[in-house]
Amino acid sequence: MSEPFDPPGEPWVRVSPRLATVRRIGLLVVWVPLGVLLAVLLWLVHAWLGALAALVALLGLAWVWAVVGRTVRSWGYAERAEDLLVTRGVLRRQLVVVPYGRMQFVDVTAGPLDRRFGLATVQLHTAAAATDASIPGLVPAEAARLRDRLAARGEATAAGL
């Protein structure tokens, strides 16, 4: 193993780049109205405060816009014989290992924007409430295949208990 975040012998399956578009639209829908509202309120107090708030909001939006693309490119998963690996993150990298025998059920979800862009999210649930193993940005056919495969592997592994 060359790095602690590399799966031994398994390539990462990356999520769809369309997820970046979905995340950016969500960012625009939430943050632009809030930034405009804050800038207008500060403009009413002092004009230079409103201009400063607008400038900071634009710079922050540009930075987050760029980070979203890198974050989406970092998201991936790998299926191994006994467990599923999920990795993500640019600044703070994370690797989650979910043993198939620990899985209780698998959800597939898709919000309105996800459906518009042909994406779905697979969420794995284990007995540990703190486990956050989700894989967003999958095309629906891949999400269904992964759901069925994980459920079958979970049943086969748990059958031996």
Sheet holding 94-99, edge to edge: 13-14, 76-79, 83-88, 94-99
pTM above 0.85, yes or no: no
In this structure, what token pair is assigned to residue 49? 């405060």
Low-confidence ranges of the chain (pLDDT < 70): 1-2, 8, 132, 158-161
The count of other CB atoms within 10 Å of the CB of residue 156 is 11
The CA distance from 106 to 150, in Å, is 8
- Residue owning tokens 């309120």: 41
Q: What is the pLDDT of residue 67?
A: 92
Q: What is the pLDDT of residue 2?
A: 55
Contact of 114 with 22, CB cutoff 8 Å: yes
Q: What is the pLDDT of residue 159?
A: 58
The CA distance from 89 to 101, in Å, is 26
- The helix/strand/coil state of 3 is coil
Phi, psi torsion values for 125, nearest 5 degrees? -115, 130
- Residues 122-131 as b or e (16 or more Cβ within 10 Å = b): bbbbbeeeeb
Task: Show Cβ contacts of residue 32 under 8 Å, excluding neighbours closer than 6 positions.
Answer: 61
Q: What is the pLDDT of residue 25?
A: 94
Phi, psi torsion values for 106, nearest 5 degrees? -125, 130
